[in-house]
Structure 1
Amino acid sequence: MRRLSRAGGALAGSLALACVLTSPALAAPSHHGAAPAARPLSAQYLCFYEVTGDNVRIRTGPGTNYTAFGQMHRGDKFQSGTLSNGWAHGYSSRHARSGWISMTYLRIIPGTCR
């Protein structure tokens, strides 16, 4: 019976490794202008930020060459778990979707990181 448990554990470990290795977050970046894949927010170290400017664009990727789909305003909250070259990827409750905002316009809210 113990031998079966070890075999089952090995199988489960192999399946978990296969899932990690084929995860979209680890896939090679696309060269077709698509935003880099980001892991789900719930699986990462998260912080809440406050937007410090008005009419700050939220974009589909980390850079001004990506499409803006909305604007954030001073005092809006932004939950982020991924940073890339001065850009934060996170969730905007104002737009009910995730996107990217330049860190230039974000201030971390002390005590909100987990």
Structure 2
Amino acid sequence: MNPKIDNDENIFRKVKCGICKKRVSTRLCDFVVDYRQPMFFRDYHDFSEQQLHGTCDMPMCDECAKSYNNIYDFCPFHYGFIKKIQPIPEMKRAITEYVTKDLLNF
């Protein structure tokens, strides 16, 4: 998993929060709304820099943004989805088995 990358605050100088419409935006919603298919790449650099998904990108202030796992920022609308999306018991078992067997070598 990639470490959290903060948004460049300079891009938000004049953009108001899309939620409260009062404060200056400092974050963008990270909820994935589109998956893109890979295309032909001329070299490895182009391949490694590709974006395979698009995100909501709702501009938000610190107060309106909902943080998830201290990595992602979601708008309140998409944060509601995240709270509802939980792995079923079989998925939890498979994840636990993978972590203990393959990653921790137990």
| TM-score class, shorter | under 0.3
Higher helix proportion (structure 1 or 2): 2
Q: Between Structure 1 and Structure 2, whose CA radius of gyration is higher?
A: 1
Higher strand proportion (structure 1 or 2): 1
TM-score by length of 2: 0.25
